[in-house]
Amino acid sequence: MTNNDNFAQIGQTPTASKHESGFTLIEVMVALAILAVVAVAASRASSAYLSSVDVLRTRTLAHFVAQNAAADLRIQGTWLTANSTQTINAQGRDWQITMTVSGGITPALKEVNIAVAPIIDGQAGNAVNDINMILSNPEQEIGSLDLTGANPNGGIL
């Protein structure tokens, strides 16, 4: 009696048969296609995440630069009479700072908008952060604010 005869007597089939078990070529191709779609989606999601992190980092650094420019104006007691633009290197990058002066409520006060834009390849980009501050002229008394004269019709604005 051979080994195959023993399986036939017990009612079992032999382990070696004509059909080998495993994955077909079509099953492997479908699995690879699914894996490729998932990999592309994950790559795009990580790229979008890194891009948004870079934008937030640039905006945060620009805010620090704007705050430093405002602090410099206060510390130096600078009274701006006209708009100004300057280029500085701070936070490891080059920045363009634009200070726009507008009239205040009294001659002793002026509102200043400080806009900060990154300089990329020698060109200033769009402003990514701006802050507003009020400057006071140390040589002029602020006095009291009379808002009734601001309305030509009189009364409350």
Q: What residue ranges do the domains of the chain occupy?
A: 25-142
Q: Averaged over 21-38, what is the pLDDT? A: 92
**Higher-confidence residue: 8 or 137?**
137
- pLDDT by residue (tens digit) across 51-99? 899 999 999 999 999 999 999 988 888 788 889 999 999 988 999 999 9
Whether 119 and 96 have beta carbons less than 8 Å apart is answered as yes
pLDDT of residue 154: 45
- Rounded to whole angstroms, how far apart are CA atoms 128 and 39? 33
pLDDT of residue 82: 86
pLDDT of residue 124: 86
Q: Averaged over 37-41, what is the pLDDT? A: 96
Entry pTM = 0.62
- Rounded to whole angstroms, how far apart are CA atoms 154 and 157? 8
Of 16-30, 63-77, 107-121, where does mean pLDDT reach its minimum? 16-30
CATH 3.40.30.10 fits 25-142, yes or no: no
